[in-house]
Amino acid sequence: MKNVTIGIDIGGTSTKYGLTDRDGNIYFQGEISTQQFNEFTDYVKALSDKLREELSGLKVHLLGIGVGAANGNYYKGTIEHATNLKWKGIIPLAELLKQEFNVPVLVTNDANAAAVGEMVYGAARNMKDFIVITLGTGLGSGIVCNGHLVNGKHGIAGEIGHTTVNYAGRYCNCGKRGCLETYVSATGIKRTVYKLLADHLEPSELRGVSFEDLDTRMITDAALRGDIVALAAFEYTGRILGTKLAETVVHTDPEAIFLFGGLSLAGDLIFKPTIKHMELNLMPIFRGKVKVLPSGLQNQAAPILGASSLVWNYLEEKESREIQLLNN
């Protein structure tokens, strides 16, 4: 029987799930609504029923379940005070799923899951020191040092999105002002387009689009057509990201920084200014040493792979620890 793990990615609107093996082959994948459930326990029940239905008949050995969710706490297996979910307070997710399937359940935030996914299945398979930056609605990050994900003392490491670009800058959901993610994210680049449209006189096809309708894809397409404001928005975003990455790099000296998610699909438009301004601002001994690369998991299944990778990583680390304990 094939060893497999379940990966679950909980978003505010919908939850994606899938079954994978150690090589990243996907046996099934699907989706249920997250927001239709008023009670968290009903949600877990419905999700579990769905998974059992998909599993039935498959000749596999389920080793564990990995979950990526905003505000997921790895140490406690909980989701804590997530602003994108209707269930408030601290949700004991791992405990409830363990009752349903009686296998190890690992929970972490989506950016940490992306980092472990990059190590287990992606472009960081031979790396011990790297960082993944996820560019979605916000900016998440997962840091790997010495081959291990950095969770930190309180399980909340990797919040590079909340370092400060400008102390009197844009308002952030976290309660501060001028955080990196208010500039560098799908929402950040929209805010930048609107700022540039306000500050400058240049014509732009984006002048006809409302803030609510504007998205990264439209800005990318406009830039590719040579729209001066869209191009300036990418330059502005890359300058801020690159300048900030120069600060991050001197902390943990990574081999590479991977960009993942919507904004990173814009290719040279975002990579070129990012790399240029990172190099310009780096402490000289680091220059030319740190690669900035697209994630190796740029596909539909990435969130499922990221979540399921938590289980493989957990089991492989556990095996090492047990061998040590047996011999001490």
Residues that bind a second copy in the complex, under the rule CB under 8 A: 127-129, 143, 145-146, 148, 150-160, 162-164, 167, 174-176, 179, 246-248, 250-255, 281, 283-286, 289-290, 320, 323-324, 326-328
- Rg of the Cα atoms in the chain: 21
Residue closer to a second copy (CB basis): 58 or 280: 280
Q: How far is the CB of 309 from a second copy (least distance, A)?
A: 18
Region for 289 from its dihedrals, namely left if φ exceeds 0, alpha if ψ lies in -120 to 50, beta otherwise: alpha
Beta carbons of 74 and 107 less than 8 angstroms apart:
yes
Beta carbons of 301 and 18 less than 8 angstroms apart:
yes
Q: How far is the CB of 278 from a second copy (least distance, A)?
A: 12
Tell me the β-bridge partners of 18: 7, 29
How open is the CA angle 221-225-231, to the nearest 5 degrees?
A: 75
Residue closer to a second copy (CB basis): 7 or 158: 158
Query: 121 is written with which tokens?
Result: 């299945």
Residue closer to a second copy (CB basis): 208 or 284: 284
Residue closer to a second copy (CB basis): 93 or 249: 249
Sheet holding 148-149, edge to edge: 148-149, 139-145, 130-135, 256-260, 291-294
Q: What is the SS3 string spanning 29-84?
A: EEEEECCCCCCHHHHHHHHHHHHHHHHCCCCEEEEEEEEEECCEECCCCEEECCCC
Q: How far is the CB of 319 from a second copy (least distance, A)?
A: 9
Residue closer to a second copy (CB basis): 38 or 320: 320
Residue closer to a second copy (CB basis): 272 or 287: 287
Q: How far is the CB of 119 from a second copy (least distance, A)?
A: 14
In 199-270 the beta strands, taken as DSSP E runs, fall at: 256-260
Q: How far is the CB of 83 from a second copy (least distance, A)?
A: 11
Q: How far is the CB of 23 from a second copy (least distance, A)?
A: 20
Exposed / middle / buried, residue 175 (Cβ in 10 Å: 0-12, 13-18, 19+): exposed
Q: How far is the CB of 163 from a second copy (least distance, A)?
A: 5
Residue closer to a second copy (CB basis): 30 or 178: 178
Within its chain, how far is the Cα of 320 from the centroid? 27
